[in-house]
């Protein structure tokens, strides 16, 4: 039998970047017409971002847990993310306006949220063992092998 040697890698963080968590919570399932437009708005934005790398978007992954859908995104900078959100020629700004139009005539059947974190070299730790190369922070910016100098979480953070 072939012996399996797990490959351990870590994200190669050379410069600051941004982790952006964005999502929605379906507060009232049966009011489909209130939450479905928000749900449907996300896909085209992700397609737009993958097609236009100059916007500063790096990658995204969607997670579903109960009533909450979260899209985990990596961006080159806070400025790039902010500029995309405000750009009226892209898909986001109209969706923003449409959301508040629906929200003020609705019942709160859908909640939305986002959280933005700046990731800086020396302040982040990661480890991947036998994971797909495109996964997570490492997938967004590239990985490097764990060595004897980056054996522990503290060393990898440093
Ligand atoms: C790729 C997906 C998305 C990205 C990167 C994104 C990014 C952002 C960012 C950065 C802001 C803050 C803008 C600022 O205050 O300067 C924002 C606000 C907002 N977004 Fe998105 N968003 C995304 C998807 C969506 C979707 C699908 C909706 C539709 C429901 C939405 C609705 C809103 C609304 C309503 C605000 C304003 C919230 C407030 O300040 O009251 N966004 N978004």
Number of domains in the chain: 2
Report if pTM > 0.85.
yes
Kindly state whether residue 1 falls inside one of the protein's structural domains. Answer: no
Match 């963080």 to its residue by tokens: 13
Tell me if 148 is assigned to some domain. Answer: yes
d(CA 8, CA 142): 13
Domain containing 148 equals 8-12+120-157
Q: For the domain that residue 39 is a member of, what is the CATH number?
A: 3.30.70.100
Q: How far is the CA of 130 from the centre of ligand 1 (A)?
A: 34
40 and 23 share a domain? yes
Q: Hey, what are 38's tokens?
A: 């928000």
Same domain assignment for residues 145 and 106: no
Mean pLDDT, consecutive 10-residue stretches, the chain (158 aa), reads 90 98 98 96 98 98 98 98 98 96 92 98 98 96 97 97
Ligand 1 neighbours by CB, cut-off 6 Å: 22, 38, 41-42, 45-46, 49, 81-82, 84-86, 92, 95-96, 99-100, 112, 114
Cα 37 to the center of its chain, rounded Å? 20
Output the residue whose Cα is nearest ligand 1's atom 31.
96
Looking at the fold, whether 91 and 150 belong to one and the same domain comes out as: no
39 and 111 assigned to the same domain: yes
Long-range contacts of 37-44 (CB under 8 A, 24+ apart): 37/98, 37/99, 37/102, 38/99, 38/102, 38/110, 38/112, 39/69, 39/110, 41/91, 41/95, 41/98, 41/99, 42/71, 44/91
pLDDT, position 54: 98
- Can you tell me the distance from the alpha carbon of 153 to that of 158, in angstroms, rounded to the nearest whole number? 9
The answer on 101 and 46 residing in a single domain is yes
- With respect to residue 3, please indicate whether it lies within any of the assigned structural domains: no
């Amino acid at each position: 039998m072939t012996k399996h040697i797990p490959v351990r890698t870590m994200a190669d963080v050379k410069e600051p970047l941004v982790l952006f968590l964005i999502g929605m919570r379906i507060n009232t399932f049966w009011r489909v017409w209130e939450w479905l437009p928000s749900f449907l708005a996300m896909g085209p934005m992700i397609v737009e971002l993958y097609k236009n790398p100059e916007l500063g978007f790096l990658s995204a992954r969607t997670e579903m847990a109960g009533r909450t859908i979260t899209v985990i995104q990596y961006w080159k900078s806070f400025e790039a993310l902010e500029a995309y959100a405000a750009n009226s020629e892209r898909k986001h700004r109209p969706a923003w306006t449409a959301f508040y139009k629906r929200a003020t005539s609705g019942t709160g059947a859908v909640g939305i949220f986002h959280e933005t974190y700046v990731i800086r070299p020396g302040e982040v730790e990661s480890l991947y063992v036998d994971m797909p190369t495109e996964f997570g922070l490492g997938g967004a910016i590239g990985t490097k092998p764990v060595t004897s100098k980056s054996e522990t979480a503290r060393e990898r953070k440093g």
